[in-house]
Amino acid sequence: MSTTLFLCRLLLALICCGIVDCCPPPPIALPIRNVSLPNGFVSRGIALEVGTPAQQLAFSPHMPENNTYVYDSGNPVCSPGPVAPAGCMTYRGGLYSESASTSHVSSSINVSGADPFDTSPANAQNTAQVAWSQDSVGLDVNTTLDAYPLGVLKQDSPYQQQVPQNLLGLGANSTLLSALKSASRIASRSWSMFYGEAGVTASGQMDGTFVLGGYDRAKVSGSNLTASMTKNPSCGSDMLVFVTGLFVNFANGTTSSVFTSQSQAFQACINPAFPSVMSMPDSIFENMNTIWGAPGFDIYSTRSAGLNFWNAAYSGAPFDGALAIDITAGSSTITVDIPNNLLVMPDITWANNGDLTLNLSKEIVLINNLVAPNNNDLAILGRTFLSAAYLLVNQDARSFTLWKSNPTTDSDLVSVDGQGNVLPQTCVPPPSNITTNTTSPSETPSISSTSSTPATSTSNKISTGAIAGIAVGAAGAGILSCITAFCVSRQRRKRHDDNSSSTALVNMSDESGLSSRNPTMYWPQYADHPNPAPLLLPHEMASHEHADPVEMPGEIPELHSNDKGEEIKEDRLPH
C-alpha cells in the first residue's frame, strides 16, 4: 500500500471515528453459578476471583452500596448462621484470606480508592466496622482489577440472613462500575442480570448471567418496560414499580385473580439480592392462599430459616400451578410469569460442615408475606423474580429496563451507552489489568497491558523511537479495522432495527410520582416469636417507624394485551 493511499484511508477513518463512537468496548459477562469453595461445597452467586493465587468467592449484587465488601476468613462474624468454620464459608459465599494473597496490601478508606461515603453494610470510615484492603480481582480472562479496594467486614451486615454473602456494590457511585467506565472497558455504568434457575435437581438448574456495560439480548423476550430510577429511602435500588395484577394459573388451564379490586395494587422495590420471588401485603397473600386451597398459615412456625429466608413454609406442596404478575411503571405494563419450579421448592438450609441440606417434607413458597410489625413495609421483587424477568440498570441514564426472561444458555451480548442506546459491537480489547490503586477517590483509574513474562533486563527494552513507531503503526491499523468494522456493524444494526424492535430500549420517564409506603424501612425486620428457629436467636432486630400508605396512581390499566398479543379478559381483574 502506498503512503498516499494509506494516509487517505487513515484520514477517512479519523473523520468517521471523530463523528461516531465506532468502536465501543464489549460488555463483560460474569456467571451466576454454584461457586466451588475450599470446604468442598458450593455457594451460588456472581463468581469472582480475588487475590493471588485466585480465591473463588460468590457475591450478591447489591444497592445502594457503592463498594465491594468481603468477609474475613479469620473473623467471618457468622452468627446467627452456621458457627462452624466450614459451614460459615458456604453461608458467606467464601471467605477472603488476606494472608494467602501475595497481591494483598493493607490500606485505608481514602487511599484505597473506595467510596468513603458508604454507610451500609458498615460505615466506610469506621475502622471498627470495616478494614480496607487492596487486592486483585479477576472478572474474566481479559480483565483484572489491580489494587482494587475491598472492604473487609468486621461485623455482620444489617441484612443478616436475607443477604449473608459477600456484597458487590452497584449503587449510583459504584467503585466497580466507575473503574471500568473510566478505563474505557465498558461503554456505560450499566449492568444487567438474569439469575438463572436454582432448583434442587440438575434438570432444575441453569447458570445465570451478570453483564457489565450492557445486556444479553438472547435472554430477553417480548416488549420491555423502561422507567426512571427514583430516590427513595425505603428502596435502596431506586427501582420502583407497581404490581397492578396478580393471577393464579392452575395446572388445568384456569386462572383466578388474587386482587378483589383494583385498589389492591401495590408498590414494590426491585432488589436483586432479596431471597424470594417477592414480598407482598399479608392480605394479598391470604387471598392467594385461599385461592390455591392451601392449609392455614402461621406466621411464626411456618417460615424458612434457610437459604430462602423467611418465605412461607408448608408441610407438603401447597400448589402445583403458577403465578402471573403485571408490572406497571408510568404507562407501560408487562406480565411476568412465575412457573411452579421457581415458586415452590423444598426447604434448603446450611449444615455446619458447609453442605446444603434439603428438608423434603417442608415446602417453601418463595413469597414473604408482610405481617406486623412489617405490614406497612414496601413490597420487594427479589432475585428469583429475576429468574423469570431480565433486568438492565443504567446508572449513567438513571433508568432501568425489565423484560420477560428467555431462559437459555445462548448468549448475544450488546453494549449500552450512557443514554441507554444499544451500540454496535465491534472491538474486543486485549487482555488488560485495570489499575485502581488511587490516592484519592476522585482520581481516574488507568489501564495497563498485561504481559506473561515481565522484562528483567534493560537490554530487552524497546527504545522510545521504536515504541513510537509501533504505536503509530498499531493505531493506523486499528483505525482502519475500526472503520471497516463500523460499516459492517452499522449495516447489521440497521437490519436488526428494521426486523426486531421488541428489544429496543425505550427511555420512558416514570411520571407517576411514586412515593414510599414506609420512608424509614428498606429491609424487613422480624418480630420476636415464641419458638424461633436456631439461626434467628442471636440477632436483635433494628427498630423502625411506619408511615401511612400512599395513594395509588389515578389510573391503573384494566385491560391490556399480553406479550403474545392476546387480549386479557376483563374478569381477570375484577372491579
Express each pLDDT in 551-564 by its tens digit.
444 444 443 334 44
What does DSSP say about strands 255-257 and 356-365: parallel, antiparallel, or unpaired? unpaired
pLDDT for 426 equals: 57
* Closest to 292 in 3D by CA, of 336, 257, 265, 263: 257
pLDDT for 90 equals: 97
- Tell me which of 48-62, 216-230, 394-408, 426-440 is least confident: 426-440
Q: Is residue 209 left, alpha or beta, with left meaning phi > 0 and alpha meaning psi from -120 to 50? A: beta
What 8-state DSSP symbol labels residue 479?
H
Tell me the C-alpha to C-alpha distance, in Å, between residue 214 and each of 368, 395, 493, 520. Answer: 31, 12, 16, 32
CA distance 379 to 199: 24
If pLDDT is split at 50, 70 and 90, which confidence band does 294 have? confident
Q: What is the CA radius of gyration of the chain?
A: 25
If pLDDT is split at 50, 70 and 90, which confidence band does 296 have? low
CA distance 405 to 492: 24
pLDDT for 200 equals: 87
**Is the pLDDT confidence value at 201 over 70?**
yes
For a pLDDT cut of 90, what percent of the chain falls above it? 60
Mean pLDDT of 518-536: 29
Mean pLDDT of 277-299: 84
If pLDDT is split at 50, 70 and 90, which confidence band does 4 have? low
* Closest to 349 in 3D by CA, of 205, 525, 533: 533
**Is the pLDDT confidence value at 483 over 60?**
no
* Closest to 79 in 3D by CA, of 164, 196, 193: 164
CA distance 244 to 556: 7
pLDDT for 295 equals: 63
CA distance 488 to 465: 35
Q: Assign 343 to helix, strand or coil.
A: helix
Please provide the average confidence, as pLDDT, over all residues in the chain: 78
**Is the pLDDT confidence value at 97 over 80?**
yes
How does DSSP assign 100-144, residue by residue? T-TT-EEE-HHHHT--TT--SSS-TT-TTTEEEEEEEEEEETTEE
In 183-232, which residue ranges form alpha helices assigned H by DSSP? none
* Secondary structure element (H or E) that encloses residue 214, with its range: strand 214-216
pLDDT for 238 equals: 98
- Tell me which of 172-186, 197-211, 277-291, 484-498 is least confident: 484-498
pLDDT for 316 equals: 78
Exposure letters 224-235 (e unless 16+ CB within 10 A, then b): bbbbbbbebebb
If pLDDT is split at 50, 70 and 90, which confidence band does 9 have? low
CA distance 509 to 221: 22
Q: At 468, list the grid cell.
A: 513510537
pLDDT for 502 equals: 33
More confident residue, 181 or 160: 181
Q: Residue 512: CB partners within 8 Å, gap ≥ 6?
A: 242, 329, 330, 553
Quick check: pTM over 0.75?
yes
If pLDDT is split at 50, 70 and 90, which confidence band does 497 have? very low
**Is the pLDDT confidence value at 410 over 90?**
yes
Mean pLDDT of 95-104: 98
Q: Assign 434 to helix, strand or coil.
A: strand
Dihedral, CA of residue 458, residue 464, residue 467 and residue 471, to nearest 10: 150
Mean pLDDT of 487-515: 38
Q: Residue 417: CB partners within 8 Å, gap ≥ 6?
A: 21, 24, 187, 188, 396, 423
More confident residue, 106 or 473: 106
pLDDT for 267 equals: 98
Q: Where are the strands (E) in 379-429, listed by range?
A: 379-381, 389-394, 399-405, 413-416, 422-423
If pLDDT is split at 50, 70 and 90, which confidence band does 450 have? very low
Ordered domains of the chain (ranges, CATH): 31-185 (2.40.70), 222-405+514-572 (2.40.70.10)
**Is the pLDDT confidence value at 478 over 80?**
no
More confident residue, 418 or 539: 418
Residue 350 phi/psi, 5-degree rounding, is: -95, 130
